Amino acid sequence: MLQAVSDRVPCRAARVSTGFTLIEVLIVVAIIALLIAVLLPALARTREQTRAAVCLSHLKQQGIALSTYSADYKTVLPWAGSFRFSLMEGKYYLGYTGDEMHDWALVNIGVLYPKYVGSSPELFYCPNNKAADSTGSNGIAQFRRCYRAPKRGQPGYQNAHTFPISPFSSYNYAAPLVPGRSPRDRGSQMYPEESVRYGDVPPAAESPYWRYLNEPTDPAPEFLGPLPAGTRGKHTIHAFISDGYFAGKDIYTWEGKVYNREPYEGYHLNSYNVLYSDLHAKRVVDPQGQIHTAQLTPVRYNNAGGPNVTKVFKVWDHFSRNH
């Protein structure tokens, strides 16, 4: 009898010691939920810091390539296309006439491929710029396709006058330039007058950047602070290449079809990456998120006008002032 009782007691104690009450389970779940809530933002920020570092590395590599390019071409840097994010575009846009007007031409940082950046153009793409996805319809595959067949009559050629199929990068190249002109590797003289104005047209038809420089008053003084005439574009070190900072939907019509492109922006922790005229790269903070909130759209050099243009170039000045 005593032996039987003693045999049962340890069993009951074992059952009690290995169980969990409902309160204990809820406490554990609450702790796990709290840890997740604390860790997820930290993980997201770490991932974003990694993307920002990748983008900044791309710009630094472009800077190295541009330095070599400058040495080869006696301080003359790659020429600008009509669209500052293009890697290639039709010669038509650059003022060509005659038999070659619809051939493809390397422009902007696309000129660095392949001699100065190697066989892969991946460094032309920022991981945060969704409109310029390296795997998208205007990405690396399209760039290589156009590069292999840049002239009419070649197998695989696609009409260079059809802008929606143009390959483009994530980065905004030398925004002040007139299409077909080149910046200079000369520090404060990176954008000489002949590279930022047409010079042979009426003032109202001048390039949008030249009009911005010479506006008598600042039409958007509340945006990034007022910039009086005579101070705009005056920098010892200029912005040269930047993340796309166009957060607005880019809607345009081509041959009767409406295209609605995603925001063309590489935004990193409330900042943008910028490469400068001395070929160093850094992140520049977007003050109070003004640039992102402005919902700017890219400048089209054939019909640019209005307050959007002023703000586009004020951002460029902001980058240059914060080198």
Residue 303 pLDDT: 60
Residue 23 pLDDT: 83
Residue 1 pLDDT: 43
Residue for token pair 């922790």 = 269
Lowest mean pLDDT among 88-97, 132-141, 234-243: 88-97
| Mean pLDDT, residues 112-124 taken together | 94
CA 16 to chain centre: 63
| Mean pLDDT, residues 166-176 taken together | 96
Q: Check whether 24 has a pLDDT greater than 80.
A: no
pLDDT top residue among 289 and 20: 289
Residue 17 pLDDT: 54
Q: Where residue 10 falls among pLDDT bands split at 50, 70, 90?
A: low
Q: What angle do CA 261, 263, 266 make, to 5 degrees?
A: 135
| Mean pLDDT, residues 180-190 taken together | 95
- Hey, which residues does 271 pair with through a beta bridge? 285
Residue 42 pLDDT: 62
| Mean pLDDT, residues 3-17 taken together | 51
Q: Check whether 221 has a pLDDT greater than 60.
A: yes
Q: Check whether 235 has a pLDDT greater than 80.
A: yes
Q: Give the tokens for residue 91.
A: 């010669």
| Mean pLDDT, residues 205-220 taken together | 91
Q: Where residue 280 falls among pLDDT bands split at 50, 70, 90?
A: very high
3-state per-residue secondary structure call for the chain: CHHHHHHHHHHHHHHHHCCCCHHHHHHHHHHHHHHHHHHHHHHHHHHHHHHHHHHHHHHHHHHHHHHHHHHHCCCECCCCCCCCCECEEEHHHHCCCCCCCCCEEECHHHHHCCCCCCCCCHHHCCCCCCCCCCCCCCCHHHHHHHHHCCCCCCCCCCCCCCHHHCCECCEEECCCCCCCCCCECCHHHCCCHHHHCCCCCCHHHCCHHHHHHHCCCCCCCCCCCCCCCCCCCCCCCCEEEEECEECCCEEEEECCEEEEECCEECCCCCEEEEEECCCCEEEEECHHHHHHHCCCCCCCCCCCCCHHHHHHHHHHHHHHHCC
Q: CA-CA distance, 169 to 139, in Å (whole number)?
A: 7
Computed from CA positions of residues 297, 303, 304, 308, in that sequence, does the dihedral angle turn out positive or negative?
negative
pLDDT > 70: what percent of the chain? Answer: 91
Q: CA-CA distance, 155 to 44, in Å (whole number)?
A: 45
Lowest mean pLDDT among 3-12, 100-109, 197-206, 231-240: 3-12
Label the pairing between strands 257-261 and 250-254.
antiparallel
Q: CA-CA distance, 316 to 224, in Å (whole number)?
A: 11
Q: Check whether 245 has a pLDDT greater than 50.
A: yes
List the one residue out of 195, 192, 180 whose CA is nearest residue 80: 180
Domain ranges of the chain: 43-321
Q: CA-CA distance, 22 to 163, in Å (whole number)?
A: 64
Q: Give the tokens for residue 252.
A: 């345009």
Supply the mean pLDDT for the chain: 89
pLDDT tens sequence across 187-199: 999 999 999 999 9
pLDDT tens sequence across 283-315: 999 999 999 999 998 887 766 666 788 999 999
